[in-house]
Homo-oligomer: A and B are copies of this chain.
């Protein structure tokens, strides 16, 4: 069994081919590893929510999955923006990848994110860490109206109340400091109590 940290962009077995691929925006694992030490990578993240008829957040969805060393962790919908792809297209693609094709997300009209998260390999520069890379993530709160079916490497989407999702125990289970991020994103939509 492989224990390499998977790039969250790609489900197992669907990684893009090495450079011979016609699309120069696809990066091989080796190329991506090389670039990750040279440039900040641009990510989008989504906090999936359920809203009531007045638009108020009633539930927040977190992905539960096993990481490379078999620990259970929670995370958000997340992934890289590809060359030539708009932020909006990337957000939609990763929502579909992580929540399945029947989630029916309502993407925000505004491209301005609810929060900006900066992940660094070393802790202390910001609240957010990603040992693989320096990544800057545009974070959106996205209502989903359909049924979520997480992809293979996520075990489930767990729905919680806004009050529960910001408790310290859930915060500790969110990888890379995303407990802070969920709080900031909920604050931006007036759902942080």
Interface residues of A (CB under 8 A from B): 24-25, 27, 31, 35, 37-42, 49, 51, 53-57, 81-89, 92, 106-116, 118, 120, 125-127, 134, 136, 138, 141, 143, 180, 183-184, 187-193
- CB-CB nearest in chain B for A105: B55
A192 touches which of B106, B141, B180 (Cβ 8 Å): B180
- A106-B106 in contact (CB<8A): yes
- B180-A110 in contact (CB<8A): no
A55 touches which of B41, B106, B193 (Cβ 8 Å): B106
Contact status of A141 and B190, CB under 8 A, knowing A39-B35, A54-B88, A86-B126:
no
- B113-A81 in contact (CB<8A): no
CB distance from A59 to the nearest CB of B (A): 12
Contact status of A113 and B110, CB under 8 A, knowing A81-B136, A87-B136:
no
- B54-A141 in contact (CB<8A): no
